[in-house]
């Protein structure tokens, strides 16, 4: 049952308190007032809720410039991983993992199966009907996502593919999240749609459009109720709520600005689409939306396909003009390798932007980064050779005290990456007999 401000008492504010406005239901971040005074210490010690994030980048990396030379603690960050230096103690580099199920009969199949296997450890079958397997995020969502408004969210940057070749469904390339063998989940690339899914509750598209046409921002429509609430909160909670509303305001402003940049001559809906032209701004918006969703516990599980396999996306702010997929086929030319490594480092820097946001966001007795488990990696290692062995994998966050960071973890060569996925589930107190080609959890 949704609880509103009428359930507030002098000693306790329900964790499921919402602010209501015109077409808006806005969840709140965790506040001290949501923990009864008599049990605050006990509930804090009992353990916060861990969030799970899985982020995919295609085409692999220059592995000699990704993999640390030293195993264990105290390793030196290689060139590509330098952007995560501020978060060294909360990131683990995981080496020697393989996705055997990602190998295909040709170049296109290798790309498609790389994305498909990333969170499933399963083989993408040929045929009109896609057939794969459930992914780790959806196993987690079944267990830790059932008491949140959204069990999970699935985000991407690019539009769906039109033709994926080799008799493989485009679902294998267009999503990394599957509820079951024949149930790929669509991924949303429009920040406006994601924002309204998180905070808008108009019953129909027409109702949501009417609110936008009246120039009523989501935040403005709840300000009266927010002001009433703030007067009843202690100073620390007022400050935390004020910062949260400021963050929501800023993201809404950026989404609206993106929509206003579109030409009026284009045959688009009257409502702004909110898809930024600047790919870096687009990626950062999607990261920011995940932070808001986790902060307010609208969901605890998210997947983000930062870029699709075989993408020709360019990243002007990286200083590299080459298309992503084209440059991954560097032909072992030193200059091409160096430019691709710069692009790899640029993407890691965008991931570090996400980590910084999580670290700066209070959550209970710690931060969102303390209470998160975030996988960042690719289903390819050497994109030039379409190799799925020795994958580039990072695991960030403290998992609510259950994961130690600052380590380079090596394993036996060709260890199934699905073993890492099973180990991640264990950190969430979720057990599974088998996932894809897993043979058992690795030690974390």
Using DSSP's 3-state secondary structure scheme, residue 350 falls into: helix
Q: Which positions ≥6 away from 33 have C-beta within 8 Å?
A: 12, 13, 233, 234, 237
As a whole number, the mean pLDDT across the chain is 86
Report residue 272's pLDDT band, with 50, 70 and 90 as the boundaries: very low
76 located within any domain: yes
The reported pLDDT for the residue numbered 37 is: 46
Q: Into how many domains does the chain fold?
A: 1
Range with lowest mean pLDDT among 35-44, 146-155, 263-272, 331-340: 263-272
- Report pLDDT digits (tens) over 209-231: 665 555 556 667 677 777 778 77
* Tens-digit pLDDT profile for residues 236-270: 778 777 877 787 777 777 777 765 544 333 333 33
- pLDDT score at 128: 78
The predicted model gives 22-42 an average pLDDT of 62
Residue 320 has pLDDT above 70, yes or no: yes
- Higher pLDDT pick, 421 / 297: 421
Q: Judge whether 435 lies within some domain.
A: no
Q: Examine the pLDDT at 23 and tell me if it is beyond 80.
A: no
On whether the CB atoms of residues 12 and 36 are closer than 8 A, the answer is: yes
Q: How far is CA 126 from CA 104, 109, 131, 175, 187, in A?
A: 10, 10, 8, 16, 21
The CA distance from 66 to 47, in Å, is 34
**18 located within any domain:** no
Q: What is the mean pLDDT of residues 140-146?
A: 94
Residue 277: what pLDDT?
Answer: 86
Higher pLDDT, 287 or 30: 287
Mean pLDDT throughout 388-406? 97
Residue 2, domain member (yes or no): no
CATH of the domain at 417: 3.40.720.10
Q: Is residue 378 part of a domain?
A: yes
Distance CA 32, CA 27 (A): 15
Is residue 112 predicted with pLDDT exceeding 50? Answer: yes
How many angstroms from the chain centroid is the CA of residue 42? 30
287 lies in which domain range?
47-189+275-427
Query: Is 54 within the bounds of a domain?
Result: yes
Q: How confident is the model at residue 423 (pLDDT cuts 50, 70, 90)?
A: very high
How much is the pLDDT for 47?
Answer: 60
Helix (H, G, I), strand (E, B) or coil at 332: coil
Q: Which pLDDT belongs to residue 36?
A: 59
- Residue 206 in any domain: the answer is no
Please state, for a pLDDT cut of 70, what percent of the chain lies above it. Answer: 84
Locate all alpha helices (DSSP H) within 38-135, ordered by sequence: 40-46, 107-117
Task: Determine the pLDDT at residue 343.
Answer: 98
Residue 43's pLDDT band, with cuts at 50, 70 and 90, is: very low
Q: Of 164 and 247, which is predicted with more confidence?
A: 164
Quick one: how far is CA 294 from the chain centroid?
10
Residue 268 has a pLDDT of: 33
Q: Which residue has the higher pLDDT, 365 or 177?
A: 177
Q: How far is Cα 48 from Cα 364, in angstroms, rounded to an integer?
A: 7
Q: Per the domain annotation, does 443 fall within a domain?
A: no
Q: For residues 265-286, give the mean pLDDT.
A: 68
Mean pLDDT of 181-194: 92
Arithmetic mean of pLDDT, 319-326: 96
């Amino acid at each position: 049952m949704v609880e509103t401000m009428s359930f507030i008492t002098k000693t306790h504010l329900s964790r499921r308190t919402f602010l209501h406005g015109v077409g808006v239901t806005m969840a709140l971040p965790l506040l001290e007032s949501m923990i009864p005074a008599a049990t605050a210490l006990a509930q804090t010690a009992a353990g916060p809720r861990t969030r799970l994030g899985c982020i995919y980048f295609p085409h692999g990396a220059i592995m000699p410039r990704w993999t640390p030379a030293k195993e264990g603690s105290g390793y030196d960050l290689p060139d590509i991983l330098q952007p995560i230096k501020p978060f060294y103690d909360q990131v683990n580099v995981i080496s020697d993992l393989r996705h055997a199920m990602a190998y295909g009969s040709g170049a296109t199949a290798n790309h498609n199966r790389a994305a498909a296997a990333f969170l499933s450890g399963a083989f993408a079958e040929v045929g009109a009907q896609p057939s794969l397997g459930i992914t780790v995020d959806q196993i987690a969502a079944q267990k830790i996502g059932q008491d949140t408004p959204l069990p999970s969210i699935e985000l991407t940057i690019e539009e769906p593919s039109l033709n994926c070749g080799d008799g493989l469904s485009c679902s294998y390339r267009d999503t990394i999240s599957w509820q079951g063998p024949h149930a790929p989940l669509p991924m949303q690339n429009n920040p406006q749609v994601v924002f309204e899914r998180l905070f808008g509750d108009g019953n129909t598209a027409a109702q949501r459009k009417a609110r936008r046409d009246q120039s009523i921002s989501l935040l403005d429509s709840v300000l009266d109720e927010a002001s009433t609430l703030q007067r009843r909160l202690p100073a620390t909670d007022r400050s935390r709520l004020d910062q949260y509303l400021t963050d929501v305001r800023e993201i809404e402003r950026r989404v609206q600005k993106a929509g206003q940049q579109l030409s009026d001559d284009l045959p688009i809906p009257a409502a702004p689409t909110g898809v930024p032209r600047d790919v870096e701004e687009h990626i950062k918006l999607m990261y920011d939306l995940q932070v808001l969703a986790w902060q307010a516990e609208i969901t605890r599980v998210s997947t983000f396909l930062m870029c699709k396999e075989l993408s020709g996306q360019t990243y002007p702010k990286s200083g590299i003009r080459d298309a992503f997929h084209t440059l991954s086929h560097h032909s072992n030319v030193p200059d091409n390798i160096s430019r691709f490594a710069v692009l790899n480092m640029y993407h890691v820097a965008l991931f570090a932007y996400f980590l910084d946001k999580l670290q700066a966001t209070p959550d209970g007795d710690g931060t969102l980064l303390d209470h998160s488990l975030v996988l960042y990696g690719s289903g390819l290692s050497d994109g030039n050779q379409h190799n799925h062995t020795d994958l580039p994998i990072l695991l960030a966050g403290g998992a609510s005290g259950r994961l130690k960071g600052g380590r380079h973890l090596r394993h036996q060569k060709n260890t199934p990456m699905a073993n890492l996925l099973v180990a991640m589930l264990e950190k969430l107190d979720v057990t599974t007999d088998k996932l894809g080609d897993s043979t058992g959890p690795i030690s974390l």
